Amino acid sequence: MPASAKGAARNAPPVGRVYGMRWWFRLFAFSFLLGGCFLFARVVAAPSFTLDSLDQYLGLMVMALFPLSGAALYLHAFTARIRFRAASIERETLWGRKSMDFSAIRGRREFTVEDAEAGSTRYVRLESNDGSPAFVFVKKRYRFDDAFWAWYRQLPNLDAEGHKDSNFGLV
């Protein structure tokens, strides 16, 4: 096989592969769910707990948000996927599905969102060449393999090329 054909095959999209969330994010989501359930149970099981006023009903609803949000995060952690189809990349979550054709990918960008309390989160952004919305995901949250990274690194690096036509990540 000629060297150019080997390089093209190596950098081809990893079609057929599906990437789920990493174990640490799943563990975090499970811990959040357990913590929310424990907190809710402690409040409801307290001897002083009664539902005699509107304020107590509202407090109970607020406390119910913790296990509910924990359940949503848990479901997200175990169902979110990035999938490579024959002609596109697709991200599927509880809240919907987004896809981008390989032919529409102009290049890649990376950016960091800083938070004084939670630290920083590194994002990957696949820019389109057809005006469609970008494809964005958290870089370290999915279990990507070498085939993904080989494909990803061969995409044009729009940050290195100095393209300034997008204002993502600016506050």
**Which residue numbers in the chain have pLDDT < 50?**
1-10, 166, 169-171
Residue 109 and residue 44 share a domain: no
Q: CA 52 to CA 40: how far, in whole Å?
A: 18
Note the pLDDT of residue 164: 55
Same domain assignment for residues 95 and 126: yes
Looking at residue 30, its pLDDT comes to 96
Which among 124, 83, 128 has a CA at the least distance from the CA of 105? 128
Q: What is the pLDDT of residue 12?
A: 83
- pTM of the shown model: 0.73
**Residue 102 belongs to some domain of the structure:** yes
CB 104 within 8 A of CB 128: yes
In a domain, 160, yes or no: no
Q: How far apart are CA 138 and CA 157, in angstroms?
A: 17
